[in-house]
Structures are given as C-alpha cells and as structure tokens.
Amino acid sequence: MIRTSQRKPFRATLTVPGDKSISHRSIMFGAIANGITEVEGFLPGADCLSTIRCFGQLGVEIERLSETSVRVHGRGFAGLAEPVYPLDVGNSGTTIRLMLGILSGVPIFSTLIGDESIARRPMKRVVEPLRKMGARIDGRQDGRFTPLSVRGGRLQGLTYESPIASAQVKSCLLLAGLNAEGYTIVREPYQSRNHTECMLPAFGVELETQGAEVKIKGGQELTGTRVRVPGDISSAAFVLAAALMVPGSQVTVEQVGLNPTRTGILDAFRMMGAEVQVEVTDHWCNEPVGNVTIACEELRGVEIKGELIPRLIDEIPILAVVATQARGRTVIKDAQELKVKETDRIATTAQELRKLGAIIEETEDGMIIEGGTQLTGGSCHSHGDHRIGMAMAIAGFAASGEVVVEGAEAIDVSFPGFARLISQL
C-alpha cells in the first residue's frame, strides 16, 4: 500500500531505474547472440526478471553480477535448448510477444503461459503474421490467448502491413525475420518505439528503416556486445508529472532515455504549457540519453491524438492525472490500444480517478478529462497494473486528503523503489 498527500513545492534532481524495453531486449538479443553480452543499468523489475527466467529455461546462462549488472552467455539461435517446463512470462506482454518471434524460428517445442492479465491480452496480432511466415503455433481459442505452444521450424520472410502501431508486433516479426528465408518487411500506420531497430545493429545486425517501415534480411547472426541501459522515460514521466501537480516545483531527471519514439509525453507536457528542457549528453547502443528538467506554473487542457499516441502510450494514465489540474478540457483520441494493456487503462484510469472527484468521460478510443478539479482523498486500487498504481499515487500530490493506493506491489513490474523515491519529493 502507498499513501500520498498534498505536497509543498519541491525541487529535486534524481535518476530512475533502467528502461524496461531496452532491458528486455538486452537479455533477449544477448541470449540469441554468439558470445558474451554485458548489461549495465538493467531494470531489476518483475517483467525483466521474467525474461531472464525464461531464457534461463532455454539453457542460456545469465549471471546477475549486481542488481543492475547482468552477463548473458549467448548461445546463438541454434544453441537454445528445448525447455522442460512451460515458460512463464508473468505480467509481461513484451516478453511473450518478442519470445514468440524468436521461438518460431528455432527447432524446439515450448509452451508459454503468464498471469491473469496476460491470459486476457490479445496474441492473435503476432500469432497470425507468424503463421503466415510458417510458424506452428497453437493455443487457447485458436491461438488468440495463452497458453500458447510453439513448435519452431523453418520460416519464410513476410511483408506485413500491421494494422496497429505496436513495437511488440514489429519486434516479434523482425526477430522471426532474422531466422527466415529472404527479407521481412514490417510497415506500421505510425512509427512505434524503435529500440529493436536501434539495438540490433549494436549486435552486428543490418536492417533498413524508412519512416514507419523496417526491412531485415534473414540468416544474420548476432554477436554479443556491451549494453548500457538509460533510465526509463516512462518511469521518469511519473516524477515529472509530480512536479506539474505542485505548481512552483522543479524536477530534473538525469541519464534518462530520450529516444524520440518515446518522448511524446514531453511534447504533451509542453503543449500543456510546461517548461521542458532536454539535453542529450550521450548515445548508448544508438539510443540518445540525457537530462530532462521540468517546471510549470499553470497548465492548459490539450488534444492528444494520432502519431503522438504510440510515442506516449504507456504515459496516458499519468497524463490523465495531470490533465485534472489543467485549465480547460483534455481530449485523448486514437488510443484504443489502452484497452489491451495490463488492464483496460481507459476504464481503470477513469474509474480510479473518479474516486478522487475527477470528472472524466470514457470514449471508444480514449477519454475526456475536465480540468481545474480539486482532487479529494480516497482509497484507490492498482487493479494489478503498475502504471495505474503509480498514477494514483501521484494524484495524491494535489489532493485535499490522503490518497491510499492498494495493490501497490504491482509497481515492481517496472519501477522498483517508486514508493521510496516519491516519499523524498
């Protein structure tokens, strides 16, 4: 359980735990590479630990040198061993969807399962195109849901027009494409996060990107490398939002990932009138890294839609919290993907924020939030969704009474140490 209440203006400079998307990929790419991959700044969150456990079951030796340093003894695609027991991805959509791409092209049999939330999340979006590549996948409701089983084998390259902007779909198909005959091309309606495209070249893979299209040639091998993981901008978003909830505050987050396919939340905060300063200081594995400083006196409501949505998809719950404090109405559109995350985030965000007096309407593809509301204290629940738990805790920073967040253990999925960190603000 986390308890938060109204804060006085504060100033803070801090770092946040490692990027979840990059941490997953560092283990996966390290495992299918030849040789050793050293990972620094790894996120020791529950989701990334699920990825480590699954690859351990595939015979990959993965050493935890410290909480955040990991050494992966890559075995190449060909060295992955048939697992004896089902692979349990826990709560992690990224783990299951990317692993399906890898496992489809390797001649072993495996079964994938996860928690209650994973059992509700749609898998057809990857199973269908993987089957077109020749993958043999079966599962509940003809492969729409877990449990899923994969009998890996020879794959054919595919040109795929993805109906959704999803980095998990894109990455899954690119990883399958690495093992397929010929070229695999993935086109998306808007570009989703491109960590796979940034990181694979660091492992010696060649690919071509043109706007929202990526092309990869099959039969390429990966070579182990060193990966430094920047702080997660999706985690930083909660602390930046905390500063916006308490006018007169200022927060700097250092060594955070600034990949433009992830910084939509900074654009949204700027549109709302926040002062956001960004300084890129380095590139790690082709990923821009640097510092973000935010401050604000007054916020205004905005319309968030289109290409911006995939660039801030995981930040919409906290954006809705901030929008309750803006002048005027905030409209979020084109965000139907929120319905198939750890929870239906349109429903859970609205339901929990209403408990604190927010005026918020759910729509088919987003929500409408009336600004300028005085939030009250109340008892909220994470619904087992880390981002909902964190969003509600930050809502307490502007509430007239105490906000209690039940189910806060879910936050460990992406942000271990969240409660301690925000208690210091």
Active site residues: 314
Please tell me the count of residues contacting ligand S3P according to CB under 6 A.
11
CB atoms closer than 10 angstroms to residue 268: 24
Q: At closest approach, how far in Å is the CB of 13 from ligand PEP?
A: 25
Does residue number 263 form part of the binding site for ligand S3P (CB under 6 A)?
Answer: no
Q: With beta carbons less than 8 A apart as the criterion, state whether 193 and 219 touch.
A: no
Does residue number 92 form part of the binding site for ligand S3P (CB under 6 A)?
Answer: no
Does residue number 287 form part of the binding site for ligand S3P (CB under 6 A)?
Answer: no
Residue 327 counted as an annotated binding residue: no
Residue 168 counted as an annotated binding residue: yes
Q: With beta carbons less than 8 A apart as the criterion, state whether 91 and 413 touch.
A: yes
| β-strand pairing of 250-257 with 287-295 | antiparallel
Does residue number 166 form part of the binding site for ligand S3P (CB under 6 A)?
Answer: yes
Does residue number 259 form part of the binding site for ligand S3P (CB under 6 A)?
Answer: no
Does residue number 196 form part of the binding site for ligand PEP (CB under 6 A)?
Answer: no
Does residue number 228 form part of the binding site for ligand PEP (CB under 6 A)?
Answer: no
Residue 47 counted as an annotated binding residue: no
Q: At closest approach, how far in Å is the CB of 342 from ligand PEP?
A: 6
Does residue number 255 form part of the binding site for ligand PEP (CB under 6 A)?
Answer: no
Residue closer to ligand S3P by CB (options 223, 336) is 336
Binders in 20-79 for ligand PEP, by CB under 6 A: 20, 47
191 binds, among ligand PEP, ligand S3P, none (CB under 5 to 8 A by kind): none
Range in contact with ligand S3P (rule: CB under 6 A) among 49-57, 150-158, 162-170, 211-219: 162-170
Please state, in angstroms and rounded to a whole number, the distance separating the CA atoms of residues 363 and 358.
16
Q: With beta carbons less than 8 A apart as the criterion, state whether 208 and 171 touch.
A: no
414 binds, among ligand S3P, ligand PEP, none (CB under 5 to 8 A by kind): ligand PEP
Residue 232 counted as an annotated binding residue: no
Binders in 277-316 for ligand PEP, by CB under 6 A: 314
Residue 400 counted as an annotated binding residue: no
Does residue number 179 form part of the binding site for ligand S3P (CB under 6 A)?
Answer: no
Residue closer to ligand S3P by CB (options 356, 383) is 383
Residue 25 counted as an annotated binding residue: yes
Does residue number 92 form part of the binding site for ligand PEP (CB under 6 A)?
Answer: yes
**Residue of 28, 126, 167, 350 that binds ligand S3P (CB under 6 A):** 167
Range in contact with ligand S3P (rule: CB under 6 A) among 28-36, 128-136, 166-174, 200-208: 166-174
Q: Which residue is nearest to ligand PEP (CB)?
A: 93
CA-based angle 409:415:418, to the nearest 5?
Answer: 75
3-state secondary structure the chain: CEEECCCCCCEEEECCCECHHHHHHHHHHHHHEEEEEEEECCCCCHHHHHHHHHHHHCCCEEEECCCCEEEEEEECHHHCCCCCCCEECCCCHHHHHHHHHHHHCCCCEEEEECCHHHHHCCCHHHHHHHHHCCCEEEEHHHHCEEEEEEECCCEECCEEECCCCCHHHHHHHHHHHCCEECEEEEECCCCCCCHHHHHHHHHCCCEEEECCEEEEECCCCEECCEEECCECHHHHHHHHHHHHHCCCCEEEEEEEECCCCCCHHHHHHHHCCCEEEEEEEEEECCEEEEEEEEECCCCECCEECHHHHHHCHHHHHHHHHHHCCCECEEEECCCHHHHHCCCCHHHHHHHHHHCCCCCEEEECCEEEEECCCCECCEEEECCCCHHHHHHHHHHHHHECCCEEEECHHHHHHCCCCHHHHHHCC
Residue 341 counted as an annotated binding residue: yes
**Residue of 168, 252, 325, 330 that binds ligand S3P (CB under 6 A):** 168
Binders in 327-366 for ligand S3P, by CB under 6 A: 337
Q: At closest approach, how far in Å is the CB of 192 from ligand S3P?
A: 6
**Residue of 17, 93, 101, 264 that binds ligand PEP (CB under 6 A):** 93
Residue 187 counted as an annotated binding residue: no
Does residue number 387 form part of the binding site for ligand PEP (CB under 6 A)?
Answer: yes
Chain residues binding ligand S3P by CB under 6 A are: 21, 94, 166-168, 171, 192-193, 313-314, 337
Residues that bind ligand PEP (CB under 6 A): 20, 47, 92-94, 314, 341-342, 387, 414
